[in-house]
Amino acid sequence: MRRRQFFARLAGCAGALLYSILGYIDPASFGLLVSVQFVAMILIGGIATISGSIMGAFFIALLPALTRELPGYLPFLSSSATEFPNIFQVETLLYGLLIIIFLIFEPRGLFGLWIRIRNYWKAWPFSY
């Protein structure tokens, strides 16, 4: 019960910080894509770990910057939202693909990968 209260307080503080930045809160600003991004952050980072959720948030925050660079490498992609295919569609597709890939191949997320790499390098010369 205490953990729920802690996370509820944390969510309340996050909402207060968002209000102080924006000056108003509109429920319409939280659409389906924002919900998918939040779920992707948690699943890609690692479920039930705070460090994993932070890793997932950094990863998902960097994904739009990476997809904005794709038209330079893939000339058939458009940076305009009115043309097909565009980088916004690719970005939405990547969210779904990454969620599926991490759920199938790495259920512990980026945090699980970090733990595995860390344990490997701790015992590197003597891995027997």
* Residue span of the structural domain in which 6 resides: 1-26
**Per-residue pLDDT, 1:** 63
Residue 116 lies in a domain: yes
Mean pLDDT to the nearest integer, 73-78: 85
94-118 pLDDT per residue, tens: 988 999 999 999 999 999 999 999 9
How far, in Å, CA of 114 to CA of 82, rounded?
Answer: 39
Looking at the chain, the number of H-run helices and the number of E-run strands are: 6, 0
Domain count within the chain: 2
Mean pLDDT of 10-34: 87
In percent, the amount of the chain with pLDDT more than 90 equals: 35
- Residue 78 sits in the same domain as residue 105: yes
pLDDT of residue 76: 87
40: closest CA among 88, 94, 113?
Answer: 94
- Is the per-residue pLDDT at 128 higher than 70? no
In terms of domains, do 6 and 53 share one? Answer: no
Residue 92 is assigned to a structural domain of this protein: yes
CA distance 126 to 99: 35
Look-up of token digits 């503080």: 13
Q: What is the mean pLDDT of residues 4-20?
A: 88
pLDDT of residue 65 exceeding 70, the answer is yes
> How far, in Å, CA of 92 to CA of 87, rounded?
9
